[in-house]
Structure 1
Amino acid sequence: MLTSNGHVLDESRHRLGELRPVPERVRDDRAELWRRLRRDGYLYLPGLLDADVVRDFRRTYFEAVAAAGLLDPATDPAAGRDSGGQVDLAVLRRILYRDVVPGDAYARFCSQPALRGWFARLYDDPVFLHRRKIIRHVRPGERGVGTATQAHYDLVYLREGTDRLLSAWIPLGDCPVPRGPLIYLEGSHRVFTERERAGQALPAASMTADLPRLADEHDARWLVTGFAAGDVMVHSPYLVHASLDNTDPDGIIRLSTDIRYQRAGDPIDWRWQQHWHDLDGL
């Protein structure tokens, strides 16, 4: 049973489907990648990154936040096994926003050649990485509205710059379906591109936590898959996405990051040029 913010998804073939990976044979074909982006709104790129580089950063993150009581102390921090107990939120916030987010290890990970170089080849232009980069962990068993990512499309938070940017969602470690990966509303990028251009822009807020109702409204499927360390999802700023609840039976925390690349010469949203903080107003 798949749930998001406690809502049970309809798993019929009309409401649930699978994300389609980009085949290896077209990975270097810029024209084909852009065609797929226009058609699907996303590029699912298994193994784009070195899995060991991803796992190394996963270890760095969990070793940093372990002092807050997040992890089972009897296990390897890189496993990300939840402690099941109370977390010192003040300590966690201090470590996250003072040390991890502005830290060199995170900056190096998000600008590694396998990422920056890939975007530079796709854009065929110098690229710019927004400084506001978001890293999230989701504990297993967290349920109810506000625990999983609610349905939204990214442009509603990025209106001061270009709409020709792309988001990359990167699972930091394996993320099978029960661990709560991102899911995408099929074809929604076309709907909301048209609405935006018709002057029907949505406010800077999530659309809904009720993913089954949203799928019914658009007569569309939620697309889902399990991810492995090294996989990357690149998606349009108009594509609606959300996340599943983390129901991992082994008590593993979901860890992921989402970052934005664009052409350096396009307008840049000035609000995204400070390090991410949960009180930054975005």
Structure 2
Amino acid sequence: MGILAGKAVVVTGAGQGLGRAFATHAAGHGAAVVINDVDEPLARQVADLITLQGGKAVVSAGSVADPEQAEAMVDTCTAAFGRIDGLVNNAGIRYQAAIGEDEPHDMRELIEINVLGTLYCTNAAVKSMRRGSIVNLGSVAMVGQPTALTYSASKGAVASITAGAASELHERGIRVNAVCPVAWTRMAAADTKGVRSGPPETIAPLVTYLLSDRAAKVTGQLIRFAHGRLHVMGQTSPKHPVVESQEWDVDKIAEAFEERLEPEDPAWVRWGVKT
């Protein structure tokens, strides 16, 4: 019996990399798992591995950018295991391109997978999920990363999805969090400026924890896990002082910035990271 015993979980993009690590770790801790991936042979390899190790797994192959596939993977979960308790929105792509050189086709594809895929799968899951946990895959790239504008935008959207869904689903007992990891995967290799780090398996325990009932009080969080360091990330909030006036003009606004308001360094400067 493991920490996820009796739970049924869908993991998207689980044919390799982080998704594979999340799926096998969850199964190793008792979860029945739906393996989703656009590459069906890879998905079946993961499902077969879990089965050989005594776990339960089925495959639902297809792209998360297809809302019908999002519905299908949830239906597969409820048909095979009688319920859905968890969703890991892991499927995603990235590439490097300088601003002005980004191709519209590539931009659209990335947003459809990283953003719409997360929305479609979340939308489908909550129709059948009574209580449970959704774990999204974020990235510190959301604070700004050179030559990755579209990817950064997509992860900023994932952060907003996490906050919005956590707020709306709280009373239903559904928790929503986002993990912002660093691990050496095929997708990470697309970032030519990235720093090599640990394998995907180092991130999996955090996702398993968030899927479990032990994380019952954790929701709406952006959680950074990289290079052996774990911490919760600060989120958008007002910065004091708040300057008030009955009437505003350019001079008063300039005076406010020059004498009272203190703009802080951009997040990418404060973080000092490029991953």
If the length of structure 1 is used for normalisation, what is the TM-score? 0.27
The structure that is helix-richer by fraction is 2
Q: Which has the higher contact order (CA 8 A, sep 6+)?
A: 1
Q: Larger C-alpha radius of gyration, 1 or 2?
A: 2
If the length of structure 2 is used for normalisation, what is the TM-score? 0.27
